[in-house]
Amino acid sequence: MNAAFFGLHGLDWIDLLQLTGHFALLSLLAVGGAITSASDMQRYLVVERGWIDPLEFNASIAIAQAAPGPNILFVALLGWSVAGPLGMVATMLGIMGPSSVLTFVVGRLRHARQDALPVRAFSVGLAPLTIGLLIATGWVLTLPSLDHPMALLLVPATVVFMLKTARSPLWMIAVGAVVGALGGA
């Protein structure tokens, strides 16, 4: 633990503000959960800014999926990979802030009506987008496996496992870890 650890890791304060700003925008756009916006996080952090590499990105998501708790914590790991503790605060403040404030305000409107037309149109109209974003995120997470045939096979195998069995996804994550460690992936 030293100053560098809690420092900016090569970023400047403007970068850090932009990082928070980008995740704050995603906070309001991530219909259907933060994972739907993971492909945009990848585009921003890996492609546009080059702060982390695709494998680091995937590792953050894999670790968060394997651990207990809300999946949103992959965002904390992404921030940590970019700029240590400060980076983590930046991404988590961004992704949690705006949506939490909105939820807080709406939660206090006791007569917020679920069946009102504007609310129903929102959930009906955005459903296809949510599914499209999940496909995009799945695709982006598959990219690093493209030149590793065994890893590539794990993707459809996991889909079949999740559709055909009622077992916990943890089993499949364990299988992925073993296959990968044995050099298959």
Partner 1 sequence: MPPVPTTDPELRHPRNKIELFRAFTWLALQGFGGVLAVAQRELVERLRWLNKEQFVELLSLSQVLPGPNIINLALMLGDRHFGWRGAAVAVGGLLAAPLVIVLALAALYAQFSSVPQVAGALRGMGAVAAGLVLSTAVKLAPTLRRSPMGLWPCVGMTLVSAAAIGWLRWPLAWVVLGLGGVGYAWAWYRLSPAKDSAP
166: its two tokens: 């009622």
Q: Tell me which residues in 2-21 interact with partner 1 (CB under 8 A).
A: none
Contact with partner 1 (CB under 8 A): which of 3, 14, 163, 166?
Answer: 163
Indicate the residue among 13 and 108 with the shorter CB distance to partner 1. 108
Positive or negative, the Cα torsion across 66, 127, 120, 108? positive
Question: How far apart are the two ends of the chain, measured CA to CA in Å?
Answer: 34
Minimum distance of partner 1 from residue 136's CB (angstroms) = 3
Minimum distance of partner 1 from residue 10's CB (angstroms) = 17
Contact 76, 91 (CB under 8 A): yes
Q: Tell me which residues in 76-105 interact with partner 1 (CB under 8 A).
A: 76-77, 80-81, 96, 98-100, 102-104
Q: Tell me which residues in 29-48 interact with partner 1 (CB under 8 A).
A: 29-31, 33-35, 37-40, 43, 47
Contact with partner 1 (CB under 8 A): which of 16, 45, 61, 86?
Answer: 61
Contact 71, 65 (CB under 8 A): yes
Indicate the residue among 7 and 148 with the shorter CB distance to partner 1. 148
CA nearest to 93, candidates 24, 162, 41 = 24
167 binds partner 1 (CB under 8 A): no
Q: Tell me which residues in 98-157 interact with partner 1 (CB under 8 A).
A: 98-100, 102-104, 106-108, 110, 112-115, 117-142, 144-145, 148, 150-152, 154-157
Indicate the residue among 13 and 183 with the shorter CB distance to partner 1. 183
Indicate the residue among 14 and 117 with the shorter CB distance to partner 1. 117
* Size (the chain), residues: 185
Contact 74, 61 (CB under 8 A): yes
Contact with partner 1 (CB under 8 A): which of 49, 71, 89, 93?
Answer: 71
What is the rounded CA–CA span in Å between residue 4 and residue 20? Answer: 20
* Cβ-proximal residues to 90 (8 Å cutoff; 6+ apart), any chain: 16, 17, 19, 20, 23, 79, 82, 83
